[in-house]
Amino acid sequence: MTSSTMTPFVDLDSEKRQAALKATEFVHDGMVVGLGTGTTSKHLIVALGERVRAGLKIQAVPTSHDTAALAKQSGIPLIESDNAWMIDVAIDGADQVDPALNLVKGGGGALLKEKIVAAAAKRFIVMVDHTKLVPALGGSFPLPIEVVPFGWGSTARNIEEVSGGKAVLRQRNGTVFQTEAGHVILDLHMPNIDDPAALEVALNQVPGIVETGLFIGRTSILIVGHGHGVDVTHATES
């Protein structure tokens, strides 16, 4: 009688929570914190809320309505969105991370606000589970690109000409997905992205594109949750 090999259970949510808890260690009294959007960011917000109730004094800039709602529920004071922020640290998740700490983000559709907040921050901390680490961006996960609805079909064609990939209009439950800013998202499918920086520059020349989900050279610290704990990588060490 042969015994079957069981695939070990991997608790990815636990890995995300571990990474989020580690990220809170970089938040200190008096800071303005950029709060990301997504499942890992939810763990971060809940953990920061616990610290706020214990006496931590911070203010936060949310990157989506969902993040703002959870932050308020957790007791985290928010700064109005039209302020000229001075953000000490922005903390967010990612859909893919390559060895150079470049990212693909936007699976949740909040990439525009996420990039604005990351660009305004002195430090940008990324927290992920181990499955988000990839040898090269692209492939298994499409690149989200936020575009204006007007002429999106022509924009998609131009994106395909520039990238060599296939741009697909994102839909949810049979209807076209709209971002909080009223834009639509084209998910760009490519076998791999050989030169993310060059692709970002090329895409930024296409009229109709609002923002891409490529985050190039923005990561200050990467925190990866594993079954055995967390790994922390600083960009200067990569």
Q: Which residue numbers are catalytic?
A: 114
Tokens of 189: 């499918």
CB 22 within 8 A of CB 127: yes
CB 124 within 8 A of CB 146: no
- CA dihedral in degrees (43, 26, 222, 63; nearest 10)? 50
CB 225 within 8 A of CB 23: no
Three-class SS state of 23: helix
Place of tokens 């296409």: 206
Instruction: Please state the φ and ψ torsions of residue 153, each to the nearest 5 degrees.
Output: -65, -40
Three-class SS state of 68: helix
Q: Spell out the SS3 assignment of 32-50.
A: EEEECCCHHHHHHHHHHHH
Q: Kindly calculate the radius of gyration of the chain based on its CA atoms and give it in whole angstroms.
A: 18
The sign of the CA dihedral 106, 109, 112, 118 is negative
